[in-house]
Amino acid sequence: MKILILGGDGYLGWPTAMHLTAQGHNVAVVDNYLRRSLCREENVEPLVDVPNLHQRTASWESTSGYHIPAFIGDLTKWEFVDEVFREFSPEAIIHYAEQPAAPYSMLNRSAATLTLCNNLEVTANVIFAVQQFNPDVHIVKLGTMGEYGTPDIDIEEGWLEVDHKGRHQKFLYPRQAGSLYHTTKIMDTDLLWFYVRTWGLRVTDLMQGPVYGIFTEENRIDENLYPFLNYDELFGTVLNRFVIQAVADYPMTVYGKGGQTRGYLNLMDTLNCVRLSVENPAAKGELRILNQFTETFSVNQLAQKVQRVARSMGFKADISAVENPRKEAEEHYYNPAHTGLLDLGLKPQFLTDKVLAEMIEFAAKHKKAIRPEQIYRKVRWDHNLT
Task: Kindly state whether residue 382 participates in binding its own copies, applying the rule CB under 8 A.
Answer: yes
Q: What is the sign of the dihedral through the CA atoms of 372, 222, 70 and 204?
A: negative
Task: Kindly state whether residue 58 participates in binding its own copies, applying the rule CB under 8 A.
Answer: no
Task: Kindly state whether residue 187 participates in binding its own copies, applying the rule CB under 8 A.
Answer: yes
C-alpha to C-alpha distance for 328 and 90, rounded to whole angstroms? 40
Cβ distance to its own copies smaller for residue 107 or 356: 107
Task: Kindly state whether residue 324 participates in binding its own copies, applying the rule CB under 8 A.
Answer: no
Cβ distance to its own copies smaller for residue 119 or 204: 119
CB of 209 to its own copies, least distance (A): 20
Q: List 292's β-bridge partners, or say none.
A: 208
367 is catalytic: no
66 is catalytic: no
In the set 115, 183, 185, 334, the catalytic residue is 185
SS3 state of residue 28: strand
Question: How many amino acids of this chain bind its own copies (CB under 8 A)?
Answer: 50
| Ramachandran bin of 98, using left for φ above 0, alpha for ψ from -120 to 50, beta for the remaining angles | beta
Report the residue from 61, 154, 331, 361 that binds its own copies according to the rule CB under 8 A.
154
In the set 144, 183, 189, 216, the catalytic residue is 144
Cβ distance to its own copies smaller for residue 3 or 93: 93
Cβ distance to its own copies smaller for residue 224 or 296: 296
DSSP state of 382: T
Q: List 325's β-bridge partners, or say none.
A: none
Q: List 144's β-bridge partners, or say none.
A: 208
Task: Kindly state whether residue 329 participates in binding its own copies, applying the rule CB under 8 A.
Answer: no
- Cβ neighbors of 45 (< 8 A, separation 6 or more) are 39, 374
185 is catalytic: yes
Report the residue from 180, 274, 356, 379 that binds its own copies according to the rule CB under 8 A.
180
* DSSP output for 105-153: HTS-HHHHHHHHHHHHHHHHHHHHHHHHH-TTPEEEEEEEGGGT---SS
**175, 289 Cβ separation under 8 angstroms:** no
| Ramachandran bin of 62, using left for φ above 0, alpha for ψ from -120 to 50, beta for the remaining angles | alpha
Task: Kindly state whether residue 51 participates in binding its own copies, applying the rule CB under 8 A.
Answer: no
Residues making contact with its own copies (CB under 8 A): 78, 109, 112-113, 116-117, 120-121, 124-125, 128, 131-132, 151-154, 160, 162, 164-165, 167-169, 171-177, 179-180, 183, 186-187, 190-191, 193-194, 197-199, 327, 333, 381-382, 384-386
Residues designated as active site: 144, 181, 185
